[in-house]
Chains A and B, each alone.
Chain A
Amino acid sequence: AQSVTQLGSHVSVSEGALVLLRCNYSSSVPPYLFWYVQYPNQGLQLLLKYTSAATLVKGINGFEAEFKKSETSFHLTKPSAHMSDAAEYFCAVSPSGNTGKLIFGQGTTLQVKP
């Protein structure tokens, strides 16, 4: 069965510092991977997705993620944190890509300090 693990339920960085949110997955088939962001009492917004076209994926708001098959990881990074990046981030895996039947990680809350 597929699963997703996000390391660290809370991450705190200073404004301007590197953001690194970790995601590891387990899958017996090549996965489709997604990162979503959620602001308080809001729905989820897609940041980026991996669909096997390129291992380094660029998303919105300056975020990017690298698919590393050997490490079964899909970590999310941003070179310089902004206060507006404070939110909850979810990593998710899809078995086939053309489905909203996603398996989510537990989520990581990002705090950005002035």
Chain B
Amino acid sequence: DGGITQSPKYLFRKEGQNVTLSCEQNLNHDAMYWYRQDPGQGLRLIYYSQIVNDFQKGDIAEGYSVSREKKESFPLTVTSAQKNPTAFYLCASCRADRVTEAFFGQGTRLTVV
């Protein structure tokens, strides 16, 4: 079945460490997105990519980095520069050629310990 796979589901990180969250999709979507979810704040866009080897900052990109070397993959690295990284991270993908909806993965919950 087609879908978006995020791994791991739960992740613990020590302060000062970088950590990479995986997002893979087999929907043949061109565009991929990373959102951060905090209680009571909805979802906020971190980074997005509309084609391979290209990506743009979203509203809260500071302390994060991404790459888009393959159409299927859009990993997110949470760096030590991110002041408050504990959150639920959601990856999404979308077709770019017609009106459609974004499909979301099951999320990764990152906790800094």
Contacts and interface: CB of A to CB of B under 8 A. Distances in A.
A43 B104 contact: yes
Contacts of B102: 99-100, 102
A41 B42 CA distance: 14
Interface of A: 9, 32, 34, 36, 41-46, 49, 51, 90, 92, 97-102, 104-107
B94 A100 contact: yes
Given A41-B88, A45-B104, A106-B41, 18 more contacts: A34-B101, A36-B104, A41-B109, A42-B106, A43-B106, A44-B92, A44-B104, A90-B43, A98-B94, A98-B95, A99-B31, A99-B102, A100-B48, A100-B94, A100-B102, A104-B44, A105-B42, A106-B40
Contacts of B90: 43-44
Contact of B99 (A9, A36, A98, A102): A98
B96 interface: yes
Contacts of A105: 42
A104 B43 contact: yes
Given A106-B42, A107-B42, A41 B107 contact: yes
A28 B31 CA distance: 24
27 contacts: A36-B104, A41-B88, A41-B109, A43-B90, A43-B105, A43-B106, A43-B107, A46-B103, A49-B101, A90-B42, A90-B43, A97-B99, A97-B100, A98-B94, A98-B100, A99-B94, A99-B102, A100-B31, A100-B33, A100-B92, A101-B58, A102-B43, A102-B45, A104-B42, A104-B43, A106-B40, A107-B42
A100 B99 CA distance: 10
A43 B6 CA distance: 10
B110 to A, nearest CB: 13
The list of the 5 closest CB pairs from A to B, nearest first, reads A100-B102, A100-B94, A97-B99, A104-B42, A43-B104
A34 B41 CA distance: 17
A108 to B, nearest CB: 10
B48 A101 contact: yes
